[in-house]
């Protein structure tokens, strides 16, 4: 059975969007995953088809109504774990992406305006997930990011399976930098070791660069990595 992406949104026309092209698009055409977007507005009950209302307590903007979103959720429930895209959610990580990609699929709820009425998360088994510490205009682009990250891990989707496990974050480190021909470009050379043909030396160089770059670019990741306790030149802080 294919991995299923079910999306609840006010803009179903945004799906699959860019995921209809390239690797994800090919996988979609091959039936490795399915993408079904439902319009939350179809579950509004008043004659204006309202999905939002003013914030309790006052303030700017509008809030997505829990009753309308819950009705959309209940009508489309299919047993896949449900996540609402919100800036207040648990940060999306490669570990969570792997977990989701290994399951039957995902149901994603895309917010708009000021976000969802909080009672939605009390009344339904819907977790919140954030794609980063910045504010988007809506959850749709965040959902596309999450789906892209999951779909590329599905069986048969990526050409070289190893490229999935060697990448940044999989080992807790950033990936080493890459180079390709020409060997010289604008006076810049590919590091000699990468042209040596010595696989052990190449692997050692790559690991060392991963460590160095993680330490300098992402000290937050480095501090959580077991090598951070290492007092060797590559591990010393």
Which residues are known binding-site members? Answer: 111, 131-136
> Does the protein bind ligand SAM through residue 176 (CB under 6 A)?
no
Site residues for ligand SAM, window 87-106 (CB under 6 A)? 87-88
Smallest separation (angstroms) from ligand SAM to the CB of 110:
6
13 three-state secondary structure: helix
Footprint on residues 69-88 left by ligand SAM (CB under 6 A): 85-88
Q: How far is the CB of 188 from ligand SAM (least distance, A)?
A: 36
CA-closest candidate to residue 223, choices 209, 207, 211? 211
User: What distance in Å separates the CA atoms of residue 11 and residue 110, rounded to the nearest whole number?
Assistant: 9
Check residue 134 for interaction with ligand SAM (CB under 6 A).
Answer: yes
For position 62 contacting ligand SAM by CB under 6 A, the verdict is no
Indicate the Cα dihedral angle 52, 88, 90, 9, nearest 10°: 20
# residues near ligand SAM by CB under 6 A? 19
Interaction between residue 142 and ligand SAM (CB under 6 A): yes
Min separation Cβ 116 and ligand SAM, Å: 6
Is 136 an interacting residue with respect to ligand SAM (CB under 6 A)? Answer: yes
One-character DSSP codes across 166-203: SSTTTSSSPPPP---S-SEETTEE--GGGGS--HHHHH
130 binds ligand SAM (CB under 6 A): yes
Would you tell me how many other CB atoms lie within 10 Å of the CB of residue 226? 8
Annotated binding site for S-adenosyl-L-methionine: 111, 131-136
Enumerate helices (H) and strands (E) in the chain, giving the number of each. 8, 9
């Amino acid at each position: 059975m294919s991995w299923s992406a079910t999306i609840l949104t006010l803009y179903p026309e945004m799906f699959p969007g860019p995921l209809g092209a390239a690797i994800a698009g090919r996988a979609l055409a091959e039936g490795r995953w399915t993408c079904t977007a439902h319009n939350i507005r179809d579950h509004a009950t008043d004659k204006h088809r309202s999905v939002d209302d003013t914030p309790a307590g006052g303030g700017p903007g509008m809030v997505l109504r829990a009753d309308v979103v819950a009705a959309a959720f209940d009508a489309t429930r299919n047993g896949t774990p449900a996540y609402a895209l919100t800036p207040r959610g648990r940060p999306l990580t490669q570990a969570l992406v792997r977990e989701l990609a290994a399951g039957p699929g995902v149901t994603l709820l895309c917010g708009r305006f000021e976000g969802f009425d909080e009672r939605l998360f009390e009344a339904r088994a819907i977790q919140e997930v954030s794609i980063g510490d910045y504010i988007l205009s809506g959850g749709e682009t965040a959902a596309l990011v999450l789906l892209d990250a999951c779909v590329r891990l599905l069986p048969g989707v990526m050409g070289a399976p190893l490229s999935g496990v060697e990448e940044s974050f999989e080992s807790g480190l950033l990936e080493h930098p890459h180079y390709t021909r020409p060997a010289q470009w604008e006076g810049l050379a590919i590091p000699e070791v990468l042209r040596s043909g010595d696989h052990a030396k190449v692997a050692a160089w790559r690991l060392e660069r991963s460590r160095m770059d993680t330490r300098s670019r992402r000290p937050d990741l480095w501090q959580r990595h077991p090598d951070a306790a290492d007092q060797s030149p590559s591990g010393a802080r």
